[in-house]
Amino acid sequence: MRRISYIRWLASWRQKGRNNYYILLVTSVLVGFLTGIAAVILKNSVHFVHEIIRSDIGADRHVGLYFVFPLLGMILTYFYLRLAGIDIKPGIPNLLYSISKNNGYIKPHNTYSSILGAILTVGFGAPTGLESPNITTGGAIGSEIARYFKLPYRQRILLLGIASAGTISAIFRAPLTGIAFALEVIMVDLTSLSIIPIVLASITASLTSFLFWGNNHLYPLTTPLSYELGQIPYYLFVGLFTGVFALFFSNSYKSIRRGLSKIHSHFVRMALAGVLISLLVFSFPAMFGEGYLALNDAIRGDFEYLTKNDLFINFKADELLFLTGFLMIATFKALATNLTVAAGGVGGFFTPILFAGANIGLFLSHLASYLGYKINHQNSALVSMAGLIAGMLHAPLTAVFFIAELTGGFSLLVPLLITSAVSYIFIKFFQEQNFFAEDLAKQKILLTHHADHNILTILNIQDLIETNFVTVHPGDTLGDLVEAVKNSVRDLFPVVDEKGNFLGVVSLHRIRKIMFKPELYDKIKVSDLMIFPTVFADIREHLEDIAEKIHNTRVYNLVILDRGKYVGFISRSNFFLRYRELLREFSAD
């Protein structure tokens, strides 16, 4: 009861107009703690289901069972979503959309629904990650806290970025990675307002997970060997190769999503994807679920996970087949992850990126060894993980900090920087935004670090449209128009037909010389006076395009139509007044 009274006191303190920044600091710690708890609950729940399937049911002893459970998980996920009547969107796109077009609010059911969905999807073996469901859960927690404390828009969207930082920090106990992730992927602006709350949330989330997991690291690594100057060309090639694989990974996701969207039945989509996923997991059981056990083995140099299925037992005997196995499992993991998420399963991409990246690194280092070029396998796996993170997420700093925190040092800093930079530069040539944000960017509703674009995205066109104009009809007489002038406070009169279609406009300036000549009232029609404006806009156009029309044409009132029907006008003065208000709000620290 005392804790509840403290929270209520804090909310009332906020409503009395106290400094919002201190409320933000307190809520950032709260969000960090709760996202840490959510990460622990989800991770432990999925691990518990895995143990039942592998040990109690015996999937590790009977590899054929790996064909059954991923399909079962996809079907159970379908019925869960159907019975609950909810739609769980992937975490990062959901967060970015909420920031851009939903005023920083996420539906409350996401505080728990993503966790339950991920337990069914990933727990039963679909080869995806838990970071996306955790980000959705953390974002929903941040959204609800912002709603409770009635935080303003700028702080609401900051809490979503804070939640994403806390999620990454909690899962990997990597607070620097969480901070970089919020800045690069969620695109939170780095200001004096934002940096301290993000740091507080990341530290709190990391400490929370440490409280439950202790030093039981997800990746128990030894310190990697230092690189040699002569290996720089190799790491340049690793950056290029991971950039190419990132392009394949993201493009195959878009292709699979397009293909599955043609299947109208959601159940058929999930079931079909489940069958294909089960086939892939049966081929390489190491891909089951997140695949952390195999990933740890890969980094430690234990490659038995490649031959867990008897189909590939001969890989051990042939060196070329053996190194090809690393590329195969990386490709299969990418395809299985894409199938899961595109079909509607609840999971994410971060862990599959790590899994695929490590195996690509092992493929390249073994290939180099086969060709007589000595490369440390562990170093290659780690650096390749960074390259794939940089390429897939368009987040080179996140990649570098992640591996540095994972290994407890910066001994591989130069190779990490080189590989991440090359991968990022390569994929930016083909994709302006990462594949999470690409759809939002095409719709021009993605908030980036570009202030002008952000403000025009946030502005609501409905709030700018003025409708206090008196409409007239083409058959009306000058006398009717004069009566309209008497009843109007504006100097423009839109002309519409009986169906509301816009036909033109009459300005007060145009009739000023004849409006006081009663003898002309019945002789001149509105159709004789109206003109069609040289520039107009549709209500569905992005405000960035509308702003460009207003700026380039110097028009003072821009008519807004809805598929040819008259809606209203946007005035130049009102548009830029609202723009400047938002600019001041976003520029203030």
Over residues 121-145, mean pLDDT? 88
Last-in-domain residue among 213, 241, 261? 213
Query: Has residue 223 been placed in a domain?
Result: no
304/328 same-domain check = yes
Residues paired with 507 in a beta bridge: 492
Confidence of residue 312 (pLDDT cuts 50, 70, 90): low
Q: Residue 289 half-sphere exposure, CB side, CA atoms within 13 Å?
A: 24
* Predicted pLDDT at 84: 81
One domain for residues 374 and 512: no
Are 409 and 255 in contact by the 8 Å Cβ rule? The answer is no
Are 177 and 246 found together in one domain? no
User: Model confidence over 167-203: pLDDT tens digits?
Assistant: 999 988 889 999 988 888 877 666 767 788 889 999 9
324 and 382 share one domain: yes
In this model, does residue 222 exceed pLDDT 60?
Answer: no
Could you give the CA distance from residue 251 to residue 483 in angstroms, rounded to a whole number? 62
Q: How far apart are CA 150 and CA 146, in angstroms?
A: 6
Residue 503, helix vs strand vs coil: strand
d(CA 451, CA 449): 6
Domain presence at residue 222:
no
Q: How confident is the model at residue 457 (pLDDT cuts 50, 70, 90)?
A: low
Q: Which residues contact 130 (CB under 8 A, 6 or more apart)?
A: 39, 42, 43, 46, 118, 122, 171, 290, 347, 348, 351
Range of the domain at 481: 453-587
User: Per-residue pLDDT tens for 82-104?
Assistant: 888 777 777 677 777 777 776 77
Query: Could you read off the pLDDT of 427-438 as tens digits, one per residue?
Result: 999 988 877 767
> CB of 169 within 8 A of CB of 175?
yes
Mean of per-residue pLDDT scores for the chain: 83
Question: Has residue 279 been placed in a domain?
Answer: yes
Beta-strand pair 565-571/537-538: unpaired
Model confidence at 415: pLDDT above 50: yes
Rounded to the nearest 10 degrees, what angle do helices 266-283 and 69-84 cross at? 150
Does position 216 have pLDDT exceeding 90, yes or no?
A: no
**Domain identity same for 439 and 467:** no
Give the burial string for 149-182 (b: 16+ CB within 10 Å, else e): bebebbbbbbbbbbbbbbbbbbbbbbbbbbbbbb
- Do residue 481 and residue 552 come from a single domain? yes
- Same-domain pairing of 510 and 497: yes
Query: How does DSSP classify residue 490?
Result: S
Q: Of 190-204, 344-358, 491-505, where does mean pLDDT reach its minimum?
A: 190-204
Q: Which residues contact 78 (CB under 8 A, 6 or more apart)?
A: 266, 267, 270, 271, 344
What is the per-residue pLDDT for 15? Answer: 52
Name which residue leads in pLDDT, 292 or 331.
331
Looking at the fold, whether 430 and 459 belong to one and the same domain comes out as no
Q: Are residues 257 and 116 in the same domain?
A: no
In a domain? residue 335: yes
Considering only 51-65, 130-144, 364-378, which range has the smallest mean pLDDT?
A: 51-65
Residue 460: CATH number of its domain: 3.10.580.10
pLDDT band for position 400 (cuts 50, 70, 90)? very high
237-286 pLDDT, tens digit per residue, is 999 999 999 999 999 999 999 999 899 898 999 999 999 999 998 888 88
Distance CA 575, CA 296 (A): 56
- In the predicted structure, residue 387 carries a pLDDT above the cut 90: yes
Residue written as tokens 């195996």?
Answer: 359
Q: Are residues 346 and 361 in the same domain?
A: yes
Domain boundary among 428, 448, 468: 448
Percent of the chain surpassing pLDDT 70 = 85
| CATH value at residue 272 | 1.10.3080.10
CA contacts within 13 A on the Cβ side of 193:
19
Do 72 and 209 fall within a single domain?
A: yes
* Residue 224 within any structural domain of the chain: no
Is the predicted pLDDT of residue 419 greater than 90, yes or no?
yes
Last residue of a domain, one of 433, 448, 463: 448
**For residues 375 and 228, what is the distance between their CA atoms, to the nearest angstrom?**
10
Confidence bin at 60 (pLDDT 50/70/90): low
221 belongs to a structural domain:
no
Q: Is the pTM of this model over 0.85?
A: no
Q: Which residues pair with 494 in a beta bridge?
A: 505
Instruction: Evaluate whether 582 touches 451 at the Cβ level (below 8 Å).
Output: no
pLDDT of residue 1: 47
Residue 479 included in any domain: yes
pLDDT at 579: 75
Is the pLDDT at 484 greater than 80, yes or no? yes
**Token duo for residue 561:** 């139509």
| Whether the Cβ atoms of residue 464 and residue 456 lie closer than 8 Å to each other | no
Query: Do 246 and 366 sit in the same domain of this protein?
Result: yes
pLDDT, residue 363, reads 94
218 occurs within a structural domain: no
Overall domain count for the chain:
3
Mean pLDDT of the 339-359 span:
91
CA 335 to chain CA centroid, nearest Å: 20
CB 129 within 8 A of CB 352: yes
Whether 13 has a pLDDT exceeding 60, the answer reads no
